[in-house]
Amino acid sequence: MKVYKAFPLCFVYFLIVSISSILIAQAPLQTTQSPDYFKQVDQTVWIIKDLNQVVDKWKQLGFDQVKELGTVEALMKKSGKKITLKMAQANLGGAIISWINP
């Protein structure tokens, strides 16, 4: 459950860093150009509550390159507990999106 509480804060931090990076890269006083690999998104990971619902909604929108990866076991370092995660991945307009359902 702590994953859900921390996710909004991490997402806001990600947005701030991303927007700041874009603004700095486009500043007129900058003398060097950023490498091309900093100008595009390669992958995004979303933590979600219901994997089946999310996959169905994206398929309804016409994204048919959704691949369900099944279940994965993960070990939590601090507590030592094993948890089961359901995962799926899709190519949405050239960006790889991974969904994790704890």
The three-state secondary structure class of 38 is helix
Domain ranges of the chain: 1-35, 41-102
Tell me: the pLDDT tens digits for 39-51? 777 788 999 999 9
Cα Rg of the chain (Å, integer): 17
Name the CATH topology of 41-102.
3.30.720
Say how far residue 4 (Cα) sits from the centre of its chain: 14
Q: Let me know: does 90 contact 63? Beta carbons within 8 Å.
A: yes
Global confidence as pTM: 0.56
The label of the residue with tokens 């991303």 reads: 18
Tell me the two tokens of residue 77: 């370092």
Tell me: the pLDDT tens digits for 13-36? 666 766 766 666 665 555 577 777
